[in-house]
């Protein structure tokens, strides 16, 4: 029975906690992942993710960056920023929060630089939250 686990580890509270905090503040939360982490966060950790898309509303919104292999490997940050500009036009957010996941942590993505690029492109305050999905 080598490898049998009696207890399952919890979902990554570092990124889930960051998303919950930013959502409550009316931010546009972008989980920088390929889609898997966002699915777990929205499906299990943050059930309030379904936003009211009315332009007069200050409800948070949660997006996945939808990184693809080559985007992540080649560091196509401009593609991510253009997605952020498009998404920011769809919601009425007070700010943008980029929340890290294991993929950008492993390949060394500079989320702070991406946040600065996004802030210039959107005109919204943008912060980078350097989580990696590995900490309690």
Neighbours of 106 (CB within 10 A): 10
Give CA–CA dist 114/128, Å, rounded: 8
Coil/strand/helix, residue 14: helix
Backbone phi and psi for residue 71, each to the nearest 5 degrees, phi listed first: -60, -45
Q: Is the pLDDT of residue 37 over 80?
A: no
- In angstroms, the first-to-last Cα distance of the chain is 27
Q: What is the pLDDT of residues 56-88, one digit of tens each?
A: 444 678 888 888 877 777 778 888 899 999 999
Among 37-41, 51-55, 68-72, 103-107, name the most confident range.
103-107
Nearest to 22 by CA among 43, 46, 50, 44: 46
Higher pLDDT, 109 or 96: 96
Q: What is the CA radius of gyration of the chain?
A: 15
Interval 17-42 mean pLDDT: 79
Percent of all residues in the chain with a pLDDT value above 90, rounded to a whole number: 25
Q: Which residue has the tokens 């998303």?
A: 19
Domains, in order of start, for the chain: 22-129 (3.40.50.1980)
Given this model, what pLDDT does residue 46 score?
66
Given this model, what pLDDT does residue 131 score?
86
């Amino acid at each position: 029975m080598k490898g049998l686990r009696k207890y399952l580890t919890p979902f990554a509270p570092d990124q889930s906690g960051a998303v919950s905090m930013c959502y409550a503040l009316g931010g546009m939360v972008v989980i920088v992942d390929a889609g898997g982490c966002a699915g777990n966060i929205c499906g299990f950790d943050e059930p309030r993710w379904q936003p009211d898309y009315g332009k007069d509303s200050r409800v948070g919104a949660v997006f996945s960056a939808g990184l693809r292999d080559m985007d992540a490997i080649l560091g196509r940050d401009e593609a991510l920023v253009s997605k952020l500009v498009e998404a920011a036009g769809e919601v009425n957010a007070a700010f943008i929060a980029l929340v890290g996941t294991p993929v950008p942590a492993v390949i060394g993505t500079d989320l702070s630089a991406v946040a600065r690029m996004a802030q210039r492109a959107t005109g919204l305050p943008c912060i980078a939250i350097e989580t990696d999905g590995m900490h309690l």
